Amino acid sequence: MNELMGARELCGRPVVTLGGDAVAQLRDTVFDGPAGRVTGFTLSGRGLLAGPLRKSLPWAAVHALGRDAVMIRGQEVLVEPSAVVARKEAAHGQVLGARVLTDAGTEIGVVLDVVVEGGRSGRVVGFRINARQSLVMGSRRRRRKVFVPRGETLAVSGRALVVPADAVRFVADDLAGFAARVEAFRARGGAAPDGLEKGPSA
């Protein structure tokens, strides 16, 4: 699995052509909820005085999503903003702060960030959430920030996300441990162990 990164930290990351020109920086990350893949980015200009650009970057035009920059072939791959996200979708699809529910009907927290796999994958592998106490066994604190894998059945409706109930057994405390938890979640094959299963970092 490629390096995992939070979508919030992508904001401000420079968009660089393979020719070495920094042409923009990332603003919003747009992903397809049911498919679990990044579909593109809205952009802002470089520099303190620059505002949002009238161009956006579809994922198909991304050469690689790296730790320090997003690489594209050239400036000609940038498209109209509506090709990535319509204005109405942008207004109603904001995920940060949304409630997270399991398909069993339990609210497990609110979304703090969306975890994306870098490189050429663009997969959304999970969420960083502010977990309710009921999710975090043995925690004295009312809420705690944990990473929870995205399920194949993820639904996005209004201000809520739905994840499989057994995803809460694969929470991790940090991104380093989360990659292993995601792999374990994918490989669970219906034989997940009972109780809250936590990674080595937890």
Partner 1 sequence: MSWWLWPVLVVAAVALLSALFLWVQARRRAGTVIAVQRGGRSGERGAR
Binding site for partner 1 (CB under 8 A): 7-8, 10-12, 26-35, 37-40, 42, 44, 48-52, 58-65, 85, 89-90, 93-96, 113-114, 120-122, 156, 161
Q: What is the CA radius of gyration of the chain?
A: 18
Q: HSE, CB side, 13 Å, CA atoms: give it for residue 5.
A: 20
Q: How far is the CB of 66 from partner 1 (least distance, A)?
A: 12
Tokens representing 9?
A: 């930290």
Question: Looking at the chain, how many residues does it have?
Answer: 202
Q: How far is the CB of 44 from partner 1 (least distance, A)?
A: 5
| Distance in angstroms (rounded) separating the CA atoms of residues 202 and 197 | 9
Q: Which residue has the tokens 């796999």?
A: 117
- Nearest CB to partner 1, comparing residues 7 and 168: 7
- Nearest CB to partner 1, comparing residues 58 and 177: 58
- Nearest CB to partner 1, comparing residues 116 and 136: 116
Q: How far is the CB of 41 from partner 1 (least distance, A)?
A: 8
| Distance in angstroms (rounded) separating the CA atoms of residues 83 and 35 | 17
Q: How far is the CB of 109 from partner 1 (least distance, A)?
A: 16
Distance of CA 117 to the CA centre of its chain: 8
- Nearest CB to partner 1, comparing residues 84 and 136: 84
Q: Identify the helix (H) or strand (E) that includes residue 148.
A: strand 144-149
